[in-house]
Amino acid sequence: MNGRRVLTIARKDLSEVLRNKQALAPLLVVPIIFAVVFPAAIALLGRSSVLTASVNGLDAFLDNIPAGVLPPDLDTGGIVVYAALTYFLAPLFLMIPIMVASVIGSSSFVGEKERRTLEGLLYTPVTNRELVLGKVFAALVPAIVVTWGSFVIYAIIANVLGNPVVGRAFFPNVTWLILVFLLVPLVAFLAITLIVAVSGRSSTVQGAQGVSVLVLLPVLALVVGQATGLMLFDASVALIAAGVIAIVDVAVFLAVAKTFQRERLITKLT
């Protein structure tokens, strides 16, 4: 595999994305909701019953949280803020790289078709694996950067607004470090690879974006699992999830690169 070819494809795609203001605008919505609105609302309303009544699943999560997880000296408001910001919102945060990947990755081959630049790219001497990997990297870098930036904002809000309610510095913990620096790249890679695979067969961006639902389902399962008391998204669960997703990433990428049909795309364009 030629790394220079991969980086060339990634840089070209990334420059196209950065010039597309319509594609960049939606990237701000999800990070603002999960990195600003949710943590600020929880920290400011932690002592109010309105919060647990209005956030779906939060009340059930607090009722089912395992004994010994929470510091024993917290009052009711401290429990809500600590548990919600540290555990409840953790799996939901994974929606940021998935949604960013969906917006950018879905325009991969579809965008090339719309700009009428795909045929020239397909005739270049790059291998299928290099082509797919280059497309993946073009969306992976923005997905990781946006998510890491969102994490910094989340951490600032959690510490500035949450610490006075909890009574101590509590964020981030080990679970969040594993989530942000290990799970986020792995989940983003999986989402983008699937989207790129579908993008090569789809004629519309919306059709390519639909596959991101497959990656969202496990995230929603983690949220439901926490709310029902079946599991807690802690460091051990995060590490297990990272190991499983890493194996899936490799398998899915190799399958997508192997089944990528360049000749089929060229035939459809001519």
Q: What is the pTM of this model?
A: 0.83
Round to whole Å and give the CA distance between 184 and 56: 24
Question: Residue 6's pLDDT is what?
Answer: 76
What is the pLDDT, as a whole number, of residue 82? Answer: 92
Q: Among all chains, which residue has been given the structure tokens 């609105």?
A: 37
Burial class (CB in 10 A: 0-12, 13-18, 19+), 233: buried
Within the chain, which residues score under 50 in pLDDT? Answer: 266-267, 269-270
Please name the amino acid found at residue 141. V
Residue 129: C-alpha distances to residues 3, 95, 197, 232, 260 (Å):
11, 27, 12, 38, 9
Identity of the residue numbered 179: L
Distance CA 168, CA 159 (A): 9
pLDDT of residue 269: 43
Residue ranges covered by each domain of the chain = 3-269
Q: State the pLDDT at residue 208.
A: 55
User: What does the pLDDT read at residue 153?
Assistant: 95
Residue 186: half-sphere exposure toward Cβ, Cα within 13 Å: 20
